[in-house]
Structure 1
Amino acid sequence: MKSVKALKWRYATKKFNSDKLLAPEKIEILKKAFNLTATSYGLQPLKMLVIQDKELQEKLMKASYNQQQVSTASHVLVICIENEIGKAFIEKYFSYVKDIRNTPDDVLHPFRESLIGSFEKKPVDEIHTWATHQAYLVLGTLLTVCAVEEIDSCPMEGFDPDQFDELLNLQKHNLKSVLVLPVGYRAEDDFFAELKKVRRPLDETIIEY
C-alpha cells in the first residue's frame, strides 16, 4: 500500500517553494528512473533536459503561458524526442545489446534488419508520434517515482514547443521538446495541496473478467 499512499499524496503542484531545492541525489534518482523506463522495442527515442537556471526558467515560463510552476520549481525536466530515428539509431541500440548481453550478431541480425526495414517505411510524422507516445510512458514513470520520493511535480503539455526548442537550442541536439515536468517542493500556501482528489469510482473505471 506504500505506492498507493504515495499516489494519493501527489497532486499537480500549482505553487512551488522557490527557496527549497532538490538535493543532487534526488535528481540522480529521477535521471535513473528516466533511463530505466520501458519504451517500445527498448529503443529509448528520448532525451531529458534537467534545468536549474532561474534566468532560463523565467524565459521558459513565458513560453509556458506564464505558468509560474516553471519559474518557481527547483528544477524543470523537459522530455524530448529524437528528430532522427532510423537505421543508424537502431544499429546503435543493437550494438549496446551486443556489448551488454554478449548476444551473437547472428541472433540479433533478423530482428535488427526487420526493425530497420519497418522504420524505413514509416513517414517521419508517424515515427515522431510513436516517439511521443514513449515520452508519455516516461512521464508516468517520473510522476510515480516523484510521489514515492515525496518530490512534488506538475506535468505540463501547456507550453510552446517551438519557443522551448529555440530557447534551449534543441536543433543543435537534433531534438524536439514534447513534455515539461517542473519538480521541487510545494509551497505551504498552495491551496490545491489540501483539496481531496476527484476520481471516478473504481467500479466505473475497472472491468474484471
Structure 2
Amino acid sequence: MSIIEQLNWRYATKKFDTTKSLSREKLNILKEAFNLTAVSYGLQTLKLVVVADKIARERLVEVAYGQRQVVDSSHLLVLCIQNEIDGNDVNAHFDTIKAIRNTPDAILNPFKKELKSTVEDMPADKKLIWATKQAYIALGNLMTVCAVEGIDSCPMEGFIPKVLDEKLELEKHGLSSVLLFPVGYRADDDMFADFKKVRQPISKTVVEL
C-alpha cells in the first residue's frame, strides 16, 4: 500500500492482541528508526527504553491510569530525555563525527566551540523544553515507521512520569520519561480499528501562499 493508505490504516490502538509479538526484525527496524530520527544540532540526547517483560509492565498499568496497552502490547517503548545535557555531550558528538567522517579538527573546532557555549549557557528549564521537543519528533517518526511496517501503536502522554521513572529505575541511567509508545498488533475485536478517520479537509488545514 502507499504511504497515505498506511497512514489511513494507522490509528491509536486501544486493544492489542496479547498472543502476537513483534519479530526481532521488526523491533530492530524501530530501534534503527529511532536512532535515525532528526535531532537538533545532531545531538542525540534522547534514549529509547524497550520494556518487554510483562511482569514489569503490569506494574505500570496503574501509573498509566489503567490503560492496558502498556502491558497487552508486544513491547512498551519509553521515550526518554537525559537529565543532564552539557559540554560532554557536545564532545562525544564531535568525536563521533570525526570517527565516521574523518573530518579535521580545524574544520570541526569552530562549530564545536560555538555549540558547547550554546548548550552550557542554556538554562536548565530551557534544556528540558528543548530536549522534550526532540522526543516528540522521535515519536512522530516512529509512528510513521510503524504505519509503513504494518505495526500497530498507541502514542501516550497519559501517565505519571515520576512514578514510572521510579518503577523502571530510570534515574540509574540518568533518564526521565517523556512519552509511552506501546507497539504490537491490534486485537480483532478492537472496535476502534474500523472507525473512519476524522480529519478536516486539506483545504482547511493547509495554507498555500
TM-score (norm 2): 0.98
Structure 1 residue 66: deviation in Å?
0.7
Q: Which residue of 2 aligns with 1:4?
A: 4
Q: Which residue of 1 aligns with 2:88?
A: 88
Q: Deviations over 1:99-155 (max 9, x none)?
A: 100110111111111111111111111101101100001000100000000000000
Structure 1 residue 164: deviation in Å?
1.0
Distance 2:128 2:95 in 1: 23
Q: Which residue of 1 aligns with 2:190?
A: 190
TM-score (norm 1): 0.98
Letter paired with 2:160: D
Unaligned runs of 5+ in 2: none
Distance 1:5 1:127 in 2: 37
Secondary structure, in 3 states, of the residue corresponding to 1:77?
strand
Distance 2:133 2:73 in 1: 25
Secondary structure, in 3 states, of the residue corresponding to 2:7?
helix
Secondary structure, in 3 states, of the residue corresponding to 2:196?
coil
- RMSD, matched Cα: 0.8
Q: Deviations over 1:73-115 (max 9, x none)?
A: 0000000001111111110001000110011011111111111
Secondary structure, in 3 states, of the residue corresponding to 1:204?
helix
Q: Does 1:149 align with 2:185?
A: no
Unaligned runs of 5+ in 1: none
Q: Deviations over 1:173-203 (max 9, x none)?
A: 0000001000000000001000000011100
Q: Which residue of 1 aligns with 2:76?
A: 76
Aligned residues between the structures: 209
Residue identity (%): 55
Distance 1:192 1:25 in 2: 27
